Amino acid sequence: MKSQKTQSAINTYLKETGGWVASQLEACTRCGICAEACHFYQALGNPEYAPVWKLEPLRRAYEQRFTVAGKFKLALGLDKKLADSDLEHWSKIVYEACTVCNKCAHVCPMGIQLGPLIHAVRAGMAAAGLVPADLAEATEKQKTIGSPLGVTDELWRERIDWITDEWEAEIPVDKVGAESLVVFTSIELMKFPDNLAAIAKILNKAGESWTVSSTGREVVNFGYFEADEELTRLFMHRVFKAAEELGVKRIIISECGHAYDAFRWAAPNLMKVPKGVEIVHISEYIHHLWKTGRLKLKEGAFDGETITFHDSCKIQRRGGIIKQPRELLRQLAPKSFVEMTPNKEQSLCCGGGGGVISIKEADANRYAVFEMKMAQLQEIQAKAVCMVCSNCRLQFVDSVGHFNLPIKVHGLAELVSKALI
Amino acid sequence: MKEKTIYEHLREKGVSRRDFLKLCGTIAGMMGLEFVAPVKAPGKSLSPSPEEIVAQALKTRPKVPIIWLEFQDCAGCSEAISRSSSPLLSNLVLNDIAIEYHETLMAASGFQAERAKEECLKKYYGKYVLVVEGSPTLAEDGIYCTVAGKSNLDLLKEAASGAAAVIATGNCACFGGIPAAHPNPTRAVGVADLIQDKPVINIPGCPAIPEVTTGTILHFLIMGQLPKTDQLKRPLPFYGNTVHDHCLRRPFYEAGKFAGSFDDEGAKKGYCLYQLGCKGPTTYNACAGLKWERGLSYPVQSGHPCLGCSEPHFWDGGGFYQGQSAPTIRLDKGSTATLVGAGVAVGAGLAGVNALKKSRAKKELKKQQASEARAETENKKEG
Amino acid sequence: MNWTEILNFSRGPLLHVAMIIFIAGLSYRLVRVLLLGWERDKAKNKGSKFWGAIVNYLKGLVVLPFIPWVRRTFRHNELTFIAGGLFHLSLFVILAFGTAHIMVWKSLCGFSWKGLPTPILAFFSATGIISMVILLLNRLTQPVLKLLTRFPVWINWLVVFLPMITGFIMARHLWFKYEVIFSLHLISVSLLLIWIPFGRISHFLFYFFSKTIHGAQAGKRAVTP
């Protein structure tokens, strides 16, 4: 049955389907190699988790509405129309078994951008109101309260004050005329305050003129997880507005992958972005400060235990910040820094990104994926792992606890702040 | 008076017994008669050897009269026979088996010739072999080829009615040949298309190999019937293999060594002529085996690709020097452009429809969003 | 109807119609996709799109199909990757350097080049056929492929396999009379040409889109594709 829901989803797919989408859908040869890349398929073995299968709703909408062959196939009974039940079925697949990490695009012999296309599939789900309840709830919180974790303005101020006291790190709030606006995630604020404090310390040490904003205080974008365009825009708009009001030159995205992806690559195509405002990720900025001599780091501060680096999908594979964190780590632990394989662009995903970690039903999926990550860590006998994404870090901390592993999980900024001279 | 046998006829002309037996062997070989092993198996009688069969036939059978008609042709097949380099055989056919009527070769002409033919048709009714050279033409009741005021269709029917067998020699008589080449203005056809009630055999070629024609006539003479044929009514002893099968350049083909032009290094080394358009692989003929000029050579041996002259429509096969694999109807630039244009037009048309669908989808989404937003604000107010 | 006539028909009108459908169909398909509209990516580049695309093509054409184990990700399923690579390689070698095929190109575009020796061609065509069989077995057994494979995919396989197997038999002069297998080869090629605009074999056209897009996207983001 086709209801208003399905109609909205189909409309969204039609809207999304430009030459960019169509040419890639047409290029697919149904070879199934993308399944090799997908950590959810590899971990769970469910063929429905093959990335190309996740595009099925988009493919059907495109073929059946825009092509003669698709209509022909329908008439011959070789294909099915999209129904409510289909969308519900795929909603679980695209939200609970996909981190939109885009590794599939790197193995696809045709180079199809499966990640962005799955994002488009999610957009249809969002329009149809078929987002998993937990994710929808967090999004609603971000929309109304301003943070997916439900951090209210008062709570936010309290936490900032508390961090300032606890770590003796000064955090300028709403300082007009600052050069950089640093935007944190609620995850850091609530769960990894050490990371927030570390960033503050580093920036202060480097003599950076920076500030945080009380209105643009949330960098996480649950609209982007959902792939709801309007909400994505709304959440980014809050930050951009704050940046304009404060007159900053750059927005520093804290350790958050999705946010970096949204601000750096998606925003210019979705909305008006303030001119002359540069978007940088904290890890590349720290690297920049270190390289320009504004920071001095103790060499070998973390030598001893084997430490490795986890590449995040949005910051490394899709963000290109690959060599900077590695250079920093080689400075911090030249002897004990060991790479996992595969790494860099080919790295294995943590399993919690793309909103998966906020969905309770997906816990089994994400733990299964983490077992593969675990095997990778054990292969090099890592005692500690470092990363530049709070979402990954949340998944690591949670899963390390779940599996009772003797592995320490660090944010890069946290390590850097401890090695400051 | 009892008719003289061929053997008696030959003896009269001074052919020795020894020469006669040699001739029998030659004929048997040419006809492709099988040799049977001269070992007597218990309980089985030894079958006669091929030359015995031939000799027996020549000793007992009278001559077979031949009426030779020409329609739309170049007389090339007759030329080939008359200049055949196996004089023994052609002499045999021309003189001893006896061609009773042949417009090009006979001395008589005009009314005299016509009378001779009429007499002959009457005298040998039901016994003679009709050989046809050149294609009959159907257009406008056959007026494009008339002899003595009679259309070729009438001539053919008249002659065929009393024939014991009909032999079509040359590609024209078999399949229409050059006159039938596109656009075939005279509607030339093969003899077999017109004569259904008599045994017809095709000896295609351009010209037909004389030994094949004479061999087939001899086969009829000796065995009393026409040889076995393939689908195109060609006698299997001569058309059982392709020119490619027995080609002397075949090893080069297998090795993938080809002449790229008529005067390149490959051509000088005798490489395969496939790239120069050789039609050997699909051409059934005895060229590679019998060859021409007393087995001296044949086109492929002399450095020219096979034209496929024993196959139907060889003039319309996409060009003699065009590779055999190439499509026979070529897409030129103009028609390709038209096709691309047509595709583009249809594609653009559908793209237009799709654009409409897309903008409608966008509109609907906007409407929906607006109504959702309205509902939300109302909810808030109520709350 | 005898085989000589069938051969004349398949070399002439059939192939002609097939080419018409092929050309018009592909232009239609290309235009239909192109005119769906393209949006410029307004995000600032981090690296070079051009070099990303170049590297992507080189990797995809030269490295990955033949030495897939350079990527650990492919180690679960090397054989399919190699079979896919070898299939395409053999296909292109045979199409470009088979003497009979060169004659086709010559008739279409007016110039020709040297072919490869027959034993090498034989090796490649056998490789191509074996790869096709491996890919078929893979498709029949792999759970993901079982899920993805719909009826048209079997047609894809068949219309590619038939020209290959008939071509192989023809070139080796096995079992059939030449004009029979030649006709069958041409008929299957015509089927292939007619099917291409309707099926996913047309990926060879869209390959250049998706491959360029991926390379450019990776280059833009300063990562190795």
Length of chain A: 421
- Does residue A123 surpass a pLDDT of 80? yes
Banded model confidence at residue A63, pLDDT cuts 50, 70, 90 = confident
Q: Compute the Cα dihedral for B57, B61, B65, B71 and give only its sign.
A: negative
Look at residue A36 in the predicted model and tell me its pLDDT: 83
How many domains would you assign to chain C? 1
End of a domain among B316, B337, B366?
Answer: B316
A 360-419 residues inside an 8 A Cβ radius of B: none
What ipTM does this complex have? 0.85
Look at residue B94 in the predicted model and tell me its pLDDT: 62
CB atoms near residue B113 (< 10 Å): 17
Measured distance CA(B222)–CA(B59) in Å, rounded: 10
Judgement on whether residues A125 and A139 belong to the same structural domain of the protein: no
Is B174 part of a structural domain of the chain? Answer: yes
Please enumerate, as own/partner, the contacts of B179-185 that have beta carbons within 8 Å and a separation of 24 or more.
B179/B72, B179/B134, B179/B135, B179/B137, B180/B135, B180/B313, B180/B315, B181/B313, B181/B315, B181/B316, B182/B315, B182/B316, B185/B139
Please enumerate, as own/partner, the contacts of C147-151 that have beta carbons within 8 Å and a separation of 24 or more.
C147/A47, C147/A48, C147/A50, C147/A53, C148/A30, C148/A32, C148/A50, C148/A52, C148/A53, C149/A30, C150/A78, C150/A79, C151/A78
Measured distance CA(A308)–CA(A340) in Å, rounded: 7
What do you get for the CA distance between the two ends of chain B, in Å?
A: 133
CB atoms near residue C151 (< 10 Å): 12
End of a domain among B316, B348, B363?
Answer: B316
**3-state SS class at A279:** strand
Task: Enumerate the residues of chain B whose CB falls inside 8 A of the CB of residue A127.
Answer: 365, 368
Q: Percent of chain A, pLDDT > 70? A: 100
Is B74 part of a structural domain of the chain? Answer: yes
Judgement on whether residues A214 and A160 belong to the same structural domain of the protein: yes
Is B4 part of a structural domain of the chain? Answer: no
DSSP strands (E only) in chain B: 66-70, 99-102, 129-133, 146-147, 150-151, 165-169, 200-203
Is A328 part of a structural domain of the chain? Answer: yes
Task: Enumerate the residues of chain A whose CB falls inside 8 A of the CB of residue B369.
Answer: 230
Judgement on whether residues B179 and B282 belong to the same structural domain of the protein: no
Judgement on whether residues A203 and A283 belong to the same structural domain of the protein: yes
What letter would DSSP give residue A112? -
Domain limits for position A389: 307-418
Beta bridge partners of A252: A182, A280
Measured distance CA(B271)–CA(B249) in Å, rounded: 6
β-pairing verdict for A337-338 and A307-309: parallel
Is C58 part of a structural domain of the chain? Answer: yes
**Contacts across the A-C interface (CB distance below 8 Å):** 163
Judgement on whether residues B275 and B133 belong to the same structural domain of the protein: no
Banded model confidence at residue B381, pLDDT cuts 50, 70, 90 = low
CB atoms near residue C101 (< 10 Å): 18
Judgement on whether residues A274 and A335 belong to the same structural domain of the protein: no
- Does residue B87 surpass a pLDDT of 60? no
Report the residue from B282, B328, B350 with minimal CB separation from C178: B282
Banded model confidence at residue C130, pLDDT cuts 50, 70, 90 = very high
Average pLDDT of the segment spanning A332-360? 86
Judgement on whether residues B117 and B84 belong to the same structural domain of the protein: yes
Judgement on whether residues B228 and B266 belong to the same structural domain of the protein: no
Instruction: Say if residues A57 and A13 touch (Cβ distance below 8 Å).
Output: yes
Measured distance CA(B254)–CA(C118) in Å, rounded: 6
Instruction: Say if residues B98 and B63 touch (Cβ distance below 8 Å).
Output: yes
Mind listing the pLDDT tens digit for each residue in A264-289?
888 888 888 888 888 999 998 999 98
Instruction: Say if residues B308 and B283 touch (Cβ distance below 8 Å).
Output: yes
Strand arrangement of the beta sheet that strand A307-309 belongs to: A337-338, A307-309, A384-387, A408-411
Residue of chain C whose Cα is closest to the Cα of B325 = C100
Q: Is C31 on the interface with B (CB under 8 A)?
A: yes
Look at residue C100 in the predicted model and tell me its pLDDT: 84
Measured distance CA(B114)–CA(B103) in Å, rounded: 9
Mind listing the pLDDT tens digit for each residue in A142-153?
888 888 888 888
Is A298 part of a structural domain of the chain? Answer: no
**3-state SS class at A61:** helix
Judgement on whether residues B180 and B312 belong to the same structural domain of the protein: no
Judgement on whether residues A146 and A283 belong to the same structural domain of the protein: yes
Please tell me which chains touch A, using 3 or more CB pairs under 8 Å as the contact test: B, C
- Half-sphere exposure in the Cβ direction for C12 (13 Å, CA): 13
Is B226 part of a structural domain of the chain? Answer: yes
Which of these, A183, A177, A206, A180, lies nearest to A277 by C-alpha position?
Answer: A180
Higher pLDDT: A67 or C195? It is C195
Which of these, B168, B290, B299, lies nearest to B241 by C-alpha position?
Answer: B290
Look at residue B315 in the predicted model and tell me its pLDDT: 84
Average pLDDT of the segment spanning B331-343? 80
End of a domain among A104, A130, A156?
Answer: A130
Mind listing the pLDDT tens digit for each residue in A149-201?
888 888 888 888 898 888 888 888 888 888 899 998 888 888 888 888 889 98
Buried b / exposed e over A316-329, threshold 16 CB at 10 Å, is bbbbbbbebbbebb
CB-neighbour burial class of residue B204 (10 A; exposed 0-12, middle 13-18, buried 19+): buried
Measured distance CA(A44)–CA(A364) in Å, rounded: 10
Which of these, C90, C78, C82, lies nearest to C66 by C-alpha position?
Answer: C82
Cβ–Cβ below 8 Å for A78 and C151: yes
Report the residue from A17, A320, A342 with minimal CB separation from C73: A342
Is A139 part of a structural domain of the chain? Answer: yes
Cβ–Cβ below 8 Å for A268 and C44: yes
Task: Enumerate the residues of chain C whose CB falls inside 8 A of the CB of residue B325.
Answer: 100-101, 103-104
Domain limits for position C58: 48-220
What letter would DSSP give residue C22? H
Is B269 part of a structural domain of the chain? Answer: yes
Higher pLDDT: B56 or A1? It is B56
What letter would DSSP give residue A297? B
Judgement on whether residues A49 and A89 belong to the same structural domain of the protein: yes
Which of these, B62, B55, B48, B65, lies nearest to B15 by C-alpha position?
Answer: B55
Mind listing the pLDDT tens digit for each residue in B106-153?
777 788 888 888 888 888 888 888 889 989 988 888 888 888 888 888
CA distances from C169 to B259, B284, C174 (A): 24, 20, 5
CA B230 vs. chain centroid, Å, equals 11
Is C150 part of a structural domain of the chain? Answer: yes
Look at residue B96 in the predicted model and tell me its pLDDT: 63
Is B278 part of a structural domain of the chain? Answer: yes
Look at residue B1 in the predicted model and tell me its pLDDT: 46
CA distances from A39 to A98, A119, A337, A400 (A): 9, 17, 25, 18
Look at residue C159 in the predicted model and tell me its pLDDT: 92
Which of these, A35, A57, A37, A33, lies nearest to A48 by C-alpha position?
Answer: A35
Measured distance CA(C170)–CA(C164) in Å, rounded: 10
Region for residue A111 given its phi and psi (left: phi exceeds 0; alpha: psi -120 to 50; beta: otherwise): left
Mind listing the pLDDT tens digit for each residue in C205-223?
888 988 888 888 888 888 8
Average pLDDT of the segment spanning B257-268? 86
For A204, phi then psi, to 5°, come to -65, -45
Residue of chain B whose Cα is closest to the Cα of C21 = B339
Is A302 part of a structural domain of the chain? Answer: no
Is C32 part of a structural domain of the chain? Answer: no
Domain limits for position B208: 63-239
End of a domain among A263, A291, A319?
Answer: A291
Cβ–Cβ below 8 Å for A18 and C84: no
CATH of the domain at B297: 4.10.480.10
β-pairing verdict for B146-147 and B150-151: antiparallel
Judgement on whether residues A275 and A155 belong to the same structural domain of the protein: yes
Beta bridge partners of A280: A252
- Mean pLDDT, chain A, rounded, equals 87
Task: Enumerate the residues of chain C whose CB falls inside 8 A of the CB of residue A283.
Answer: none
Look at residue A1 in the predicted model and tell me its pLDDT: 46
Residue of chain C whose Cα is closest to the Cα of B277 = C103
β-pairing verdict for B129-133 and B99-102: unpaired
Residue with the two structure tokens 């860099």: A344
Which of these, A421, A206, A414, A416, lies nearest to A332 by C-alpha position?
Answer: A416
Measured distance CA(C81)–CA(A265) in Å, rounded: 32
Higher pLDDT: B89 or A253? It is A253
End of a domain among B177, B208, B239?
Answer: B239
B 323-352 residues inside an 8 A Cβ radius of C: 323-331, 336, 339-344, 346-348, 350-352
Q: Is B240 on the interface with C (CB under 8 A)?
A: no
Banded model confidence at residue B34, pLDDT cuts 50, 70, 90 = low
Average pLDDT of the segment spanning B31-47? 57
Lowest mean pLDDT, pick from A411-415, B289-293, C15-19, C176-180: B289-293
How many domains would you assign to chain A? 3
Residue of chain B whose Cα is closest to the Cα of C10 = B327
Cβ–Cβ below 8 Å for B361 and A66: no
B168/chain C closest Cα distance in angstroms: 19
Which of C1, C5, C10, C11 should we substitute to test contact with B (largest number of B Cβ atoms within 10 Å)? Answer: C11
B 54-83 residues inside an 8 A Cβ radius of C: none
Judgement on whether residues B137 and B109 belong to the same structural domain of the protein: yes
Judgement on whether residues B101 and B217 belong to the same structural domain of the protein: yes
Report the residue from C43, C210, C223 with minimal CB separation from A23: C210
CATH of the domain at A19: 1.10.1060
Measured distance CA(A29)–CA(C150) in Å, rounded: 12
Q: Is B358 on the interface with A (CB under 8 A)?
A: yes
Measured distance CA(A247)–CA(A180) in Å, rounded: 9
CA distances from B303 to B80, B264, C24, C118 (A): 21, 12, 41, 22
Judgement on whether residues A281 and A190 belong to the same structural domain of the protein: yes
- Does residue C113 surpass a pLDDT of 80? yes
CB atoms near residue B377 (< 10 Å): 10
Cβ–Cβ below 8 Å for A113 and C46: no
Q: Is C206 on the interface with B (CB under 8 A)?
A: no
Report the residue from C44, C60, C224 with minimal CB separation from A345: C224
- Does residue B31 surpass a pLDDT of 80? no
